[in-house]
Amino acid sequence: MSKTPLKSIAVFSGSNHGFNPAYIESARALGREIARRGMRLIYGGTDKGLMGVIADSVIAEGGEVVGIITKLLFDLGHMHKGLTRYEVTHDMRTRKARMSECADAFIALPGGLGTFEELFEVATLTQLGEHHKGVACMNISGFFEPVRTLFNHAVAEGFMKAEHSEMLIYHTDPSVLIDALEQWQTPTVNKWIGSAQKPV
């Protein structure tokens, strides 16, 4: 259980803005809340889509923003110019690993394949016990309800324990979301259904 305030939060989000204006405003609100709490934003380093929106929001409030960007995107000129600091990684796998290492917890904003991959990877690492970091979804306009439904379906079909389907935090208010991450507790069950093996 995390009893101390989080210092760094990795945010996964789309490199597009989406069609719903609420996505942009919610990304801005999350950025403001991260900066207000004196936390460090860890993110993918670009100025595109919601990624750029949240970085701009944290920077506008005087917060610290660390961008971790792939060499491909860096060479294409997609890096945000106002970052506190940045790292350029060889590939996407290394980028994700560095973001995970630098963060105390994770929040997913709406996005596409990359966002889903990042969200599921850190949730899987939590499930396996490779790290003990909370994972949350900013559920703007119910964007992540299909994820919740999918997890519940996996439980019903015998592929996931309820404790793991319920470990993701969902909310629309960034303050509530971060408060919940600070009080989050690691599930104390292993992933194998019908197994007497001790938790990892």
pLDDT at 195 over 80: no
Q: What is the pLDDT of residue 42?
A: 98
- List, for residues 93-152, the tens digit of each pLDDT value: 999 999 999 999 999 999 999 999 999 999 999 988 899 999 999 999 999 999 999 999
Residue matched to tokens 């971790």 = 68
- List, for residues 80-92, the tens digit of each pLDDT value: 999 999 999 999 9
Label residue 185 by pLDDT band (50, 70, 90). confident
Angstrom CA distances, 73 to 68, 124, 167, stand at 10, 26, 32
Label residue 11 by pLDDT band (50, 70, 90). very high
* pTM assigned to the model: 0.91
- List, for residues 27-55, the tens digit of each pLDDT value: 999 999 999 999 999 999 999 999 999 99
User: Domain spanning 8-142+169-182 has what CATH number?
Assistant: 3.40.50.450
Token digits for 120? 């599921």
Q: What is the pLDDT of residue 40?
A: 98
Distance CA 99, CA 120 (A): 14
CA angle 107, 113, 177 (to 5 degrees): 15
**What is the Cα Rg of the chain in Å?**
17
CA angle 30, 33, 36 (to 5 degrees): 150
Segments making up each domain of the chain, as ranges: 8-142+169-182
Q: What is the pLDDT of residue 14?
A: 95
